[in-house]
Amino acid sequence: MFHFFKYNWQVRDEWFDLLQTLSQEQLHQSRTGGVGSIAFTLFHVIVVEHNWISGLGQKALSGAEFKDYQGIAELRQLSQTFRKDIEEFISNWHPEMAQKRLASKLKQEEESFSYPEILAHVIAHEIHHIGQLSIWARELGLKPVSANFIRRGIL
Amino acid sequence: MFHFFKYNWQVRDEWFDLLQTLSQEQLHQSRTGGVGSIAFTLFHVIVVEHNWISGLGQKALSGAEFKDYQGIAELRQLSQTFRKDIEEFISNWHPEMAQKRLASKLKQEEESFSYPEILAHVIAHEIHHIGQLSIWARELGLKPVSANFIRRGIL
């Protein structure tokens, strides 16, 4: 399962490279669907991944705010910083953790999710949002980053 | 890894339910990005998944053609038929298969992919294209199917 994290990070880094050519206006322009803009999509996938993994590791949430990460350079830096935490979590993973559950306060009623369920959720979450970016990139005349998992040397 | 197939199938079935309210014109309208239309996106994810799994199982490709699956009912039927083949492949999976490779003729030069690499590719492929559908759905005023992996009872 952790191979998908590596995939998402490779793809995300390639999106940073591609999108650094855009103006701030293009990055922040309001768009239909998803979370509403290219910049906020990047912030959102970075923070959602880190929040869930912080939860699994029983660590405090970062509290990162979008207003502090308005450009590609800042977003890339945030991504790199958070990635270290996630790599640490992954390197400390042991099979018994697959039996653990995390209580969540996302909804009014109490609920909990298994650790593997959350890892799968985080993975699918980013791939889904990157699919949205690919549409917006085409609308801007850009060739999207490849979503291929093959030919990345990951598995 | 196979849990993601179940996820993709649940999500796909929910998209069929949502999109059956659309007209043929809306389904086939040319759109920016992705593979160019809602209907062709659905056909594409169904056939690409089945082609790769047929390859892994050393079976002939189906040769299904888009012209024969123009409506949601036909696409749903194709999805259900192909799913049986994929379920059979999954039920016959054994760990040694993770060491196997499939030679591919996708490019001029010879290349091969490991079986896990192909499974991961098929999984990410559909999630990515569904992300694109979610943008197009919003443009049509529809609330997209949830991409959440949590709360599906899969893991």
pLDDT tens digits along A63-98: 999 999 999 999 999 999 999 999 999 999 999 999
Closest CA to A122 of A92, A99, A151, A102: A102
Q: For chain A, give the percent of residues with pLDDT over 90.
A: 95
Higher per-residue confidence, A1 vs B127: B127
- Global confidence as pTM: 0.98
Contact A128 B128 (CB under 8 A): yes
Is residue B110 one of the residues assigned to a domain? yes
Virtual torsion, Cα A141, A142, A147, A151, nearest 10 deg: 130
Where residue A113 falls among pLDDT bands split at 50, 70, 90? Answer: very high
| Amino acid identity, position A135 | I
CA distance to partner chain B, nearest, from residue A113 (Å): 7
A126 to chain B: which residues are within 8 Å by CB? none
Is residue B102 one of the residues assigned to a domain? yes
Strands B101-104 and B111-114: antiparallel
Query: Average of pLDDT values for B136-141?
Result: 98
DSSP B60: -
Contact (CB, 8 A) for A144 and A134? yes
Quote the Cα angle for A129-A134-A136, to 5°. 95
Is residue B51 one of the residues assigned to a domain? yes
- State ipTM: 0.97
Contact A33 B144 (CB under 8 A): yes
Picking from A150, A151, A152 by the largest number of B CB atoms within 10 A of its own CB, the best residue to mutate is A150
pLDDT confidence of residue A61: 96
Count the domains in chain B: 1
Virtual torsion, Cα A35, A40, A45, A48, nearest 10 deg: -80
Is residue B149 one of the residues assigned to a domain? no
The CATH number of residue B109's host domain is 1.20.120.450
- The beta-carbon neighbor of B4 closest among A32, A120, A135 is A120
Say whether pLDDT at B116 is over 90.
yes
Higher per-residue confidence, A107 vs A137: A137
Whole-angstrom distance, CA of residue A91 vs CA of residue B35 = 38
A128 to chain B: which residues are within 8 Å by CB? 127-128, 130-131, 134, 147
CA distance to partner chain A, nearest, from residue B138 (Å): 5
Is residue B130 one of the residues assigned to a domain? yes
